[in-house]
Structure 1
């Protein structure tokens, strides 16, 4: 497994933490963040949503940035005990919320909306008259979770807490980094992360598409394959443990 030389593309702080875990296993990694998180300044509307949290039978937090920024907003606007049903998309997001003292349910079967929707605790939470669900997320994003919850009879509101951008790089920054550091694997943590990878690759994408690409879910795997990625490895999770398991099972390519 120590033959891997990986490109990490998460936001800078997350890539740095993951790099340390990989280094402990003898795996070289290089960080080129392809997602930049910009918190949205709290507005009166956002504060009003927090003040009315007890209207909801479930609160779903979809990412670690949503958890961190949401906790800051909670600290400012919610002085009462948080007797709510909390859910997260993935274990890593749950850990951020649990560190704040919240009890969080999440699926151990995958770090995506599809896995969360199958969670019995979520189905139980919305099995009440006129269920109302709040989703904490970034600006835009997938609509699948809200659509499925509405099909199950719930009304859904969003609390959008941040924007995602692509950091500014020189035109050939991505292929140059891969060539200079002899990288033999790419890691993305979300659909938007892959889209930014594809965009930044530019004319070099046909060459980079031959490298093993590690993704967190079947949905992102589908995006990557549709774009021409030749070896897509679904880690079934965005955490370090899931990536390490996938690396152990995938042969190191001979370049």
Structure 2
């Protein structure tokens, strides 16, 4: 079996509950994965918006889920209280979210097949003005996030409601374990999956470790994350194909020695 990551240690920064997949891919390729979450995911502080959305679910034509977390923190609550409305079309930004919905028996799902972002979603014929004008759209997401999807759908005549069903926070405890790895020369790369995760990591580091990060290959699966990294002076950034599959492909193709 090919071991392209033999002797390579990669820091996986996904939230703890979502890090296992990429970590297993790294180890299957002969590398070592160090899980260092830069985001923590938990239920929304205020459950009222989700409860209200569940009560009004029959009024919506589309339910957009921005991530597997959005599914995990809303769909079980929905299905515990009621059946999924027959006329409600599920929409997902990426394949992992489609799979998460399917695990609950929800589908077929409107989703892009090549790029996994709001821009790709908005290119789909099912979300053009002729299809969404005067329709209500529920967007299940975490606290905050990009406004592009809602703004564009509103321009196309839709009525859009955000439902914050989970929250993202910076883990407590700082970067001591990461500093220990740097001091011992025990890791070779960082894999980052979101711009917010990059910002959190940057804020967790002191000036010395920010310089170290700038010298460390940073593997990211979206151009937006790469742009944010470059803005911070992190020019040793490798843009990969989308999702964990893209990250592992980029890691395996990199000339490590």
Please indicate, yes or no, whether the TM-score normalized by the shorter chain is above 0.5.
Answer: yes
Match of 1:107 in 2: 112
Match of 1:168 in 2: 172
State the distance in 2 between where 1:136 and 1:79 align. Answer: 17
* Conserved 8 A contact 2:47-2:165: no
State the distance in 2 between where 1:78 and 1:93 align. Answer: 21
* Conserved 8 A contact 1:59-1:135: yes
Paired residues, what number? 251
Match of 2:215 in 1: 210
Cα offset, 1:44, TM superposition? 4.2
Match of 1:20 in 2: 24
State the distance in 2 between where 1:39 and 1:60 align. Answer: 18
Q: 2:5 aligns with which of 2, 5, 15?
A: 2
Match of 1:118 in 2: 123
Normalization by structure 1: what TM-score?
A: 0.90
State the distance in 1 between where 2:253 and 2:240 align. Answer: 10
1:133-189 per-position Cα deviation (integer Å, ceiling 9, x unaligned) = 111000111112111222222221011011111111245432323443621111111
Q: Gaps (5+ residues) in structure 1?
A: none
Cα offset, 1:128, TM superposition? 4.6
Q: 1:64 aligns with which of 51, 68, 71?
A: 68
Q: 1:77 aligns with which of 81, 89, 107?
A: 81
Larger mean CA deviation between 34-43 and 93-102 belongs to: 34-43
* Conserved 8 A contact 2:49-2:163: no
Match of 1:184 in 2: 188
Normalization by structure 2: what TM-score?
A: 0.89
Match of 1:96 in 2: 100
* Conserved 8 A contact 1:10-1:189: yes
1:23-42 per-position Cα deviation (integer Å, ceiling 9, x unaligned) = 12212110011111120266
* Conserved 8 A contact 1:54-1:84: yes
Cα offset, 1:248, TM superposition? 3.1
* Conserved 8 A contact 2:92-2:111: yes
Partner of 2:167, secondary structure, is strand
State the distance in 2 between where 1:81 and 1:93 align. Answer: 19
- Aligned CA-pair RMSD: 2.0
Partner of 2:64, secondary structure, is strand
Match of 2:39 in 1: 35
Change in Cα spacing, 1:41 to 1:226, as seen in structure 2 (3 Å) is: closer
Q: Gaps (5+ residues) in structure 2?
A: none
1:232 aligns with 2:237: yes
State the distance in 2 between where 1:123 and 1:88 align. Answer: 15
* Conserved 8 A contact 2:174-2:204: no
Change in Cα spacing, 1:63 to 1:80, as seen in structure 2 (3 Å) is: closer
State the distance in 2 between where 1:179 and 1:152 align. Answer: 53
State the distance in 2 between where 1:117 and 1:215 align. Answer: 22
Cα offset, 1:87, TM superposition? 1.2
